[in-house]
Structure 1
Amino acid sequence: MCRFCTVQALERKVYEFIREHSLFAPRDVVLVAFSGGPDSTALAEILARLRSLLNIELLLLHLNHRLRKEESDRDETHCVRWAEERGLPIIVERRDVEAFCRLERLSLEEAARRVRYEVFEACRMAHGASCVALGHTLDDQAETVFMNIVRGTGLPGLCGMRPKEGVYVRPLLGVRRREVREFLEREGISFVEDSSNLDLRFLRNRIRHRVFPLLEEINPRIVEALARLSLNAWEALALREERNFPLVWGHEGGGIPLDALLLVPPSERPWLVRQFLREVRGTLWDVTRGQIEDILRLVERRKGEVVLPGKVWVFVQGGYLWASSSPLPLVDMPSWSFPLYFPGVHTFPDLGVALEGRFAPFSGEVRGLVWREALDYGQCVLPLVLRNFREGDRMQWRGKERKLKELFEEWGIIREWRRLLPLLCDQEKVLWIPGLALDERVRVQENSKSILHVELRRCKG
């Protein structure tokens, strides 16, 4: 008898869903997020039964959030025993989510979500897993779409979750929650119940336990209806995404021509900005509509900047809208040079920057802002100047004297930005490129006697 003939109905359904959406490739190592609850238990059990058919290896991961004290420890013990009974390898990670919540000033839901995905990614990389399998069901999809509707979502929010998003796969996304319960009961498979799933402080629980029962009185198939809405939204979004826009890549980010944004109708610009940010940041989940509107105002004014979550700067420069996780202090002026005398603060209103220098002992590291450095003042040929790039500029980098032009190419600094970067120089060489590099000849040593601490910051002109 063929292996597929012995597969149960739910296993067959999941298998066909996996094949339809190409969730796994042969010889994949699949990291299964395993809480011990019914959904993740069904996922682990079904994948274990299908692993030879799919030609994959499984590795379970249990994360103890330490939110429910004894109950969290009970879940951990159950998951370890459950895996051992089936001969499945399991990793257990423990994190103090409440402490992270207080430290980052996040809601408990958001803190737990961030910690989960950080652990998923760290374990995936550490153990060479190809992907992370999550236990989201069709009911979770419907709840997600409804939550997004309540929040006033756009088209991407109506799409809900994809079966495959990067390294994350959802093999149960075509399965109802009740099918999962019936499967576990019929097969006599043990699982644990998470009491926090009944906590009505959380929005998803209020929607699940209060709103959906009312919606099912109106439409008994509301879950399937919202799932169809999700598919329709995906189809509409796919038509939009067929449109290409000219994206260029710069230092730790990307840019799109302002004209490409301004030539489309105003009603389509928010979508174009979102697509641009998705390409550069990889995600839009924490970007608000208000921030998109702020960015559109930058485009219309052709100047300014907006800082997004995760310290991503969005700014206008050289006819482009840029988004970068490591912005550089760009100055839009012709050739310029200003003498510097320290200690003191030099303010350059026309440049929009200020440079402060002070003498102090060196603590061994430079803390704080991106544009801050310490250098050996005794190795400088005075006076110092702040100026922009000139042909032939050089600096000592990784043991060799290199042309700045070559270094800019290696660092991915686009040609249009090179003359916009302020450089701290002495009479012979470039000492410091804020946000990029320090000449090794002025790096602080144990025998350095005079230490100059410099800090470049933006200021209003």
Structure 2
Amino acid sequence: MPNISDRVKHFIDEHQLFTHPQTLVVGVSGGADSVCLLHLLDSLSEHYWLRLHVAHLNHRLRGPEAEADARYVQILARQLKLPCTISAADVRSYQAEHSLSPELAARQVRYAFLADVARSVGAERVAVGHTADDQVETVAIHWLRGSGLAGLRGMRSAAPIFRLAEADVPDLEGYGAESGVTAQGPLLLVVRPLLALWRRETEAYCRHFDLKPRSDSSNDDLSLRRNRVRHQLIPALEGYNPEFKENVWRASLTYAAEYDYLEAQVDALWSRLATVGDGVVRLDGEVWHETPLALQPYCLRRAVLTIVGHVEGLERVHIDAALGANGPARARMSLPHGLVMMREPDGFVVGLRDKLEQRLRALDRSFAPQLASPAPLLIEPPARVMLPFGWQARFTWASPPANPAAVGSFEAYLDVSAFSPPFILRGRLPGERIAPLGLHGQSKTLQDIMVDAKIATHLRANWPLLVVTDPELGEQPLWVVGLTVSELARVTMQSERVLHARLSNS
């Protein structure tokens, strides 16, 4: 079929999929798409100086049907006089071991197999038979997940995966999610020469050449998300617009161009923005604040890609939460793959949790007041006390504040008319309680107050409290610094003796 062959050749040339003589692994399942791909590439192999090697993996999910697929591919390769590697993998065991969906488990094992074959035959690239229909389905799935441009652009005509020795690996290629470079090995590209062809065209091609491709019964299994999108969602949307698939396919090209432009902008500023260490990327705050909002999510994606080599599992919801798109940005947030993003006074740090653990503790303490130890310090106002990590506490006599709403987080006005100095600055005691303002005399444990305020566990023991001694009640906390004031110290305009306590970090 000259028209299909010419269109595929044009697509290959436009995207420069084959620029020099090389060995090319062709993934062939036995279905119409991959059979069409193999037959077309065989007819074009002399033109592009390609040495084709056929690869087929039996996922052991469909019993005799899958075994028949493998025999079909082996016979087809023999007819075309092409070398062929056929293997099998226990995808169900891999799925159970790694708690994955059936689709994701099969995909991970399949790409690991293709990468192994490529390495064994010295190939730089692997060709797979994804079509325009697959592209539309991928974009629809990403749209349902709330993806940004990175997902809505769909699959790339060429995208990197890794040369892998084992199947026990992360989902590196992610069926459209691109991967990056890590120390795991030299890059291997997966190429998709049929992305401009529709499935109906690959089926017509196979009929024209009497190739008799296999039919995969699992493609009708509606328990799989992609099949529901293919057989239910897309036909329903075509009921609203018969050109739905063509429109989505064209839109994916636009999204891809926009994504590439944004990635180029990240390239241009990355050397000024990022400092890369062992499992850690630091983003400079000054450069970050100069970075357009539209570009910041792509900078965060680049940081994750730099550390773990891929962005599989990093969703738009993670990026929006980390950057505060739907509310206040958090000082520290967990990301997929054991990563943590945290704010520093002069920027951000993204890194593997174990690499950042000591840094996290030091950073927490620089932002949170801490005593050198829980032991008591006696306070005779006016007084100043130096605390670790640049913090200091000041205690002075004052009048009731004219505007209580303007009182800062780490300061308090306390009515101490009923108490006499010295006051005590110390850490909490086991089971200690306070009656916070606004609870009408009801008390809470300091443990509950700190948990509710999301104070990190390792900060609680040395969190400062201002305590007084009552002749009848004993020691009573008046102020849990930065968190709450006791009802015992409520200030009114009639208060006769007011202590102004303030902590600051120089």
Does the CA contact (< 8 Å) of 1:36 and 1:78 recur in 2?
A: yes
What is the rounded CA distance, in whole Å, between the counterparts of 2:157 and 2:299 in structure 1? 24
Secondary structure of the equivalent of 1:200?
A: coil
Secondary structure of the equivalent of 1:172?
A: coil
Count of aligned positions: 334
Does the CA contact (< 8 Å) of 2:321 and 2:329 recur in 1?
A: no
**Does 1:190 find its partner at 2:218?**
no
**Does 1:211 find its partner at 2:251?**
no
1:286 partner amino acid = G
What is the rounded CA distance, in whole Å, between the counterparts of 1:263 and 1:350 in structure 2? 37
1:69 pairs with 63, 82, 91, which one? 63
Deviation at 1:316, TM superposition (A): 5.0
1:180 pairs with 202, 219, 222, which one? 202
Deviation at 1:263, TM superposition (A): 4.1
**Does 1:285 find its partner at 2:312?**
yes
Counterpart in 2 of 1:87? Answer: 81
TM-score (norm 2): 0.60
Q: CA RMSD in A?
A: 2.9
Counterpart in 1 of 2:31? Answer: 37
CA change 1:327–1:217 in 2 (3 A) is: same
What is the rounded CA distance, in whole Å, between the counterparts of 1:329 and 1:192 in structure 2? 53
Secondary structure of the equivalent of 1:58?
A: strand
1:121 pairs with 115, 118, 125, which one? 115
Counterpart in 2 of 1:143? Answer: 137
**What whole-Å deviation, never above 9, does each CA across 1:105-158 have from its counterpart, x for those lacking one?**
111111111212222223222322111111000111111112222222212221
**Does 1:105 find its partner at 2:99?**
yes
1:327 pairs with 343, 348, 355, which one? 355
Query: Which one is further off, 232-241 or 31-40?
Result: 232-241
Secondary structure of the equivalent of 1:327?
A: helix
Counterpart in 2 of 1:460? Answer: 458
Deviation at 1:459, TM superposition (A): 7.1
CA change 1:58–1:313 in 2 (3 A) is: farther
Secondary structure of the equivalent of 1:92?
A: strand
Larger Rg: 2
1:261 partner amino acid = W
Counterpart in 1 of 2:439? Answer: none
TM-score (norm 1): 0.66
**What whole-Å deviation, never above 9, does each CA across 1:386-419 have from its counterpart, x for those lacking one?**
xxxxxxxxxxxxxxxxxxxxxxxxxxxxxxxxxx
CA change 1:315–1:26 in 2 (3 A) is: same
1:26 pairs with 20, 23, 42, which one? 20
Gaps of 5+ in 2: 161-188, 363-369, 373-455, 460-506
Counterpart in 2 of 1:405? Answer: none
**What whole-Å deviation, never above 9, does each CA across 1:264-301 have from its counterpart, x for those lacking one?**
46565334323433344443231123322443369x87
What is the rounded CA distance, in whole Å, between the counterparts of 2:360 and 2:3 in structure 1? 66
CA change 1:313–1:124 in 2 (3 A) is: farther
Deviation at 1:305, TM superposition (A): 5.3
Deviation at 1:313, TM superposition (A): 4.4
Counterpart in 1 of 2:490? Answer: none
Does the CA contact (< 8 Å) of 2:21 and 2:50 recur in 1?
A: yes
1:145 partner amino acid = V
Gaps of 5+ in 1: 1-6, 335-348, 352-457
Does the CA contact (< 8 Å) of 2:147 and 2:315 recur in 1?
A: no
Does the CA contact (< 8 Å) of 1:199 and 1:205 recur in 2?
A: yes
Secondary structure of the equivalent of 2:55?
A: strand
What is the rounded CA distance, in whole Å, between the counterparts of 1:122 and 1:36 in structure 2? 20
**Does 1:16 find its partner at 2:44?**
no
What is the rounded CA distance, in whole Å, between the counterparts of 1:20 and 1:350 in structure 2? 65
What is the rounded CA distance, in whole Å, between the counterparts of 1:297 and 1:18 in structure 2? 41
Secondary structure of the equivalent of 2:87?
A: strand
